[in-house]
Structure 1
């Protein structure tokens, strides 16, 4: 009898320490990435969607990106590093500092510099745990990266210095903002850059910086980055005189005045926040690369005068998926380590081992560059 009790207790203990369920977590990469070149390195930017189809909360403990053929780990994140690149869709507290609840979806934003011998395909391993269960793991979401885009563009602006502002980790940065329109969620700003004009001391305005027209880049000519046809254009949205007067806009006015230039193969260069009355083109017009098409302004959802630039697969600003591109040439001056001091203090100079002249690549996050005059 005592032996039976011990055996029963052992079964209970084993059941209470059973493995976490591996059949309830769905892994999906909705859009296969294509590499872009950033400061000499091929980089993938893409999103891994995780959905909890089970009845128990799951805590995400680790993410590894694997070479699908060899199984070698290319990158991995745990703890705070994992939480920093994850957002729970629709949750009031969007950070992933707790468990993924039943029915919830999290998006993990992946930025991955590829090795010299790039893998044919990627696979993902997610480690997780549930209450009263041993930790578990699941592998899936195999994706084959697409060929690198051959899209190399002329400068959208002249001279400089220009701060190329973007950062994958910013919660409200372009990289993390989905728009669900026409029954589909898209990420138009996956490769978007906000260009802000600086002076030699890193300042972005003269005099009272709250006056929009005092921004150094205000009114600068905006240029066609390629020969092409104007696919869409909007003018006539007014702008506030002062930055402090800015308010949020509805979806259809968030881009302010804009121009979309058809580049061919279903890709469009999108310019946003243009100065009212400055558009020099209209829909259907053919333009040449380097041609002035508008002026930098402060319309729409803008925290200050700047040029928002991205390339997507649709002409309307919020209806496209962001696609990669590069610029034919620019000069790298330096960078800001983060947003602190940007527009008020000098940037950190370029490291000696990094070449100043950059060709056929995307500027690094928060770098300071010069385009040809």
Structure 2
């Protein structure tokens, strides 16, 4: 009898009816957010601006179908799919097929996200990513990850970096070579120093940014303009000694090494781990020295055409370290931002066309806000 009981037990353990059914396991993406996002107010509306890195560990190409930003209650703050997904995706390897959604094995993709955010709460967020394989019969699969907690601290309200105007805020998160999409891995970690960088270019009342054809830096409307301290601060570093080409064509023929990309620059310590950077300044124009205390509105240099630049402008951004490239770009706002108009697209700006005036004619004043891409702004004269 005992042997019969033993045999029944063995058969029961090996019966397909009682063997545990394991769910299929597949290799897919590693999801990471390398910077803890802080809210920013763009034209008065709060949002989170950050990057989701997706690295494929699969053995075959995967095709992204959607990315959703989800809170702990399962509510989606934003979902990106179709053309919207393609618009936010970037690939450091610059695929020849121009298809950023098809991720080969071992390749990293970056989703440059901008998500509406309620500043009254500080939730923990994560991402739900759906994808398929290249097989026609493949069913969509989903993973969740890339968890982060929103960083909450006092927002940074700055004074004007320039006088008068009109000044065009040249930036756009969708430009492939725009500041937002330029990653630097110079010290063992990848950073986006220009996450909130703006290139300020002076424009005319009826459009245009230069006298004549703008072939010389001195013909640009903003060239030589006073550059101002945006807050009471301490000068933490300066970079000088970079010369200036006589013409834009001559400059374009020069190879600018990465260490000289910022041109002549000034960095101010704003406190609380935040540093303001002013780049591409005119040779010999820097009027401050490291360790010097400056007051809001003090002249610290003049707008020029040095470093990695396609035309005279003031590059301005705020970062978390006193280094031009190996730092994370931080959000900020201008205490009183007078928006008087807007360019519909960068082509209209580049062709010297007129910008669209705000209605009413006096424009609008935003408090503690970041401008929208291609906004035209007027700063106080004094």
- The partner residue of 1:361 within 361, 366, 369 is 369
Distance in 1 (CA, whole Å) between partners of 2:51 and 2:256 is 27
Note the C-alpha offset of 1:21.
Answer: 5.6
Q: Which runs of 5+ in 2 are unaligned?
A: 1-22
Distance in 2 (CA, whole Å) between partners of 1:191 and 1:200 is 26
Name the stretch that deviates more: 161-170 or 93-102. Answer: 93-102
Q: How do 1:288-367 residues align onto structure 2 when only pairs under 5 Å count?
A: 288-342=295-349, 344-352=352-360, 356-367=364-375
SS of 2:368's partner is coil
Q: How do 1:195-344 residues align onto structure 2 when only pairs under 5 Å count?
A: 195-246=200-251, 247-342=254-349, 344=352
1:162 alignment partner in structure 2: 167
1:188 aligns with 2:196: no
SS of 1:222's partner is strand
Name the stretch that deviates more: 138-147 or 40-49. Answer: 138-147
Note the C-alpha offset of 1:277.
Answer: 0.7
- 1:148 and 1:336, CA in 2 relative to 1: closer, same or farther beyond 3 A? farther
Is contact 1:21-1:136 (8 Å) kept?
A: no
1:58 aligns with 2:65: no
Name the stretch that deviates more: 347-356 or 176-185. Answer: 347-356
Is contact 2:65-2:101 (8 Å) kept?
A: no
Distance in 1 (CA, whole Å) between partners of 2:85 and 2:233 is 42
Is contact 2:91-2:100 (8 Å) kept?
A: no
1:15 alignment partner in structure 2: none
Is contact 1:311-1:323 (8 Å) kept?
A: yes
Deviation readout 1:207-262 (Å, 9 max, x if unpaired): 23111101110000000111111111022211111112223411101111000011
Query: TM-score by structure 2 length?
Result: 0.88
| Count, aligned residues | 354
Name the stretch that deviates more: 256-265 or 84-93. Answer: 84-93
- The partner residue of 1:120 within 120, 123, 130 is 123
Note the C-alpha offset of 1:59.
Answer: 0.6
- 1:90 and 1:353, CA in 2 relative to 1: closer, same or farther beyond 3 A? same
Distance in 1 (CA, whole Å) between partners of 2:182 and 2:204 is 30
- 1:44 and 1:95, CA in 2 relative to 1: closer, same or farther beyond 3 A? farther
1:177 alignment partner in structure 2: 182
SS of 1:341's partner is helix
1:26 aligns with 2:34: no
Note the C-alpha offset of 1:91.
Answer: 4.4
SS of 2:218's partner is helix
Is contact 1:194-1:307 (8 Å) kept?
A: yes
Deviation readout 1:115-142 (Å, 9 max, x if unpaired): 5765612221111001343211112212
Distance in 2 (CA, whole Å) between partners of 1:355 and 1:116 is 26
Query: TM-score by structure 1 length?
Result: 0.90
- 1:345 and 1:151, CA in 2 relative to 1: closer, same or farther beyond 3 A? same
Note the C-alpha offset of 1:352.
Answer: 4.9
Distance in 2 (CA, whole Å) between partners of 1:275 and 1:31 is 33
Note the C-alpha offset of 1:301.
Answer: 0.7
- 1:243 and 1:353, CA in 2 relative to 1: closer, same or farther beyond 3 A? closer
- 1:76 and 1:310, CA in 2 relative to 1: closer, same or farther beyond 3 A? same
- The partner residue of 2:110 within 107, 111, 114 is 107
2:87 alignment partner in structure 1: 84
Distance in 2 (CA, whole Å) between partners of 1:94 and 1:87 is 13
- The partner residue of 1:144 within 142, 149, 160 is 149
Is contact 1:87-1:96 (8 Å) kept?
A: no
